[in-house]
Amino acid sequence: MTTNAPAPVWPPRPDPSASRSRRRLLYLGVAGWVVLLVVAAVFSALRDEPTVREQRDIAEAAPIVDRAVGELVAAAGPEPVVELGPRRLRTTCRLTLVRDGAALDAAVTFRTPAADAPALLDRIAERLPAAYRADVWHGDDGTQHTLRADAGEFVAVKGSVPEPGVVRFTVGTGCRPAAGDAHADRLVPSSSPDATDNEPLRVLAALGVSDPDPVSLTIAPCPGGGVARTARSSGRGTPTGPPGALLPRPAGTVVIVDTPEVYAYRAGRLSVVAETDSGRTRVAVTASGCS
């Protein structure tokens, strides 16, 4: 007995033109998505605020450091002796394992009567801009006092009382991409010469100190206009007598520190610090236009 099996039915062959059309649509969709991502990335880079420190190079962060220093000087008020420390540019930090970066640090030191140092830290925190979100912590034992604040763009402000009567602040960018011209002298705000710029040399001469180094300057803009500027120099030798007896003091001078190692006073907008160590004397004179 035999039966006739039905003939097999094969699926229809795909239309080549339809396949090409679907591939073309797929390619166009992928290309459109890539273009959209590129446009979104460019728009974000141009318009959005940075979300990580590495999105601002060191040259862009330097003015924020300068502004924060001026804010600290203004917040401290006219009572303490103030000194702007030299800026320090580090070019050996690492952004990644294969990429170097740069970091800029600034320092401000205030001298005040020993019992007033923690209170000065509190006053500065209260007077800083609200956007800084300054916070002060005092240890239970009364020996540790710290301030933390954010100057914006990931620039950190840190304050402490390292010794009685001394309140010291650092303002730092952290490690960032190095600008093409990231040299220390190009990251400092410019200012016209001031009559007080050579005052350290006159003070050293009055103290009987010889061979003074060239004067170096540190300048920071004040929040209400004007600048704060510190001129410093050092020379060979120690004062030939008590600094209080050798140095002329303008009317209204308030002596804050008077020890064999440190002599510091404030007279109006002028702060003077003379320190002796290892046979050398260092003098810093600060003229503050911040109020």
The two tokens of residue 289 are 């236009």
The two tokens of residue 25 are 């649509």
Mean pLDDT calculated for residue range 113-119? 95
Q: Are 274 and 238 in contact (CB under 8 A)?
A: no
Domain residue ranges in the chain: 54-172, 185-288
| Digit-coded pLDDT (tens) for 21-59 | 666 666 666 666 655 665 444 444 444 444 444 557 898
Helix (H) or strand (E) run with residue 103 in it: strand 103-111
| Digit-coded pLDDT (tens) for 164-223 | 999 999 999 999 998 765 555 556 666 678 889 999 999 999 999 999 999 999 999 999
| Digit-coded pLDDT (tens) for 2-17 | 556 565 655 666 556 6
Q: Are 228 and 69 in contact (CB under 8 A)?
A: yes
Q: How far apart are the first and last CA of the chain?
A: 117
Radius of gyration over alpha carbons of the chain, in Å?
31
Specify the higher pLDDT residue, 238 or 8. 238
- Reported pTM: 0.80
How far apart are alpha carbons 225 and 112 in whole angstroms? 25
How far apart are alpha carbons 4 and 245 in whole angstroms? 131
Match 């954010």 to its residue by tokens.
150
How far apart are alpha carbons 119 and 127 in whole angstroms? 12
The two tokens of residue 104 are 């800029």
How far apart are alpha carbons 217 and 193 in whole angstroms? 10
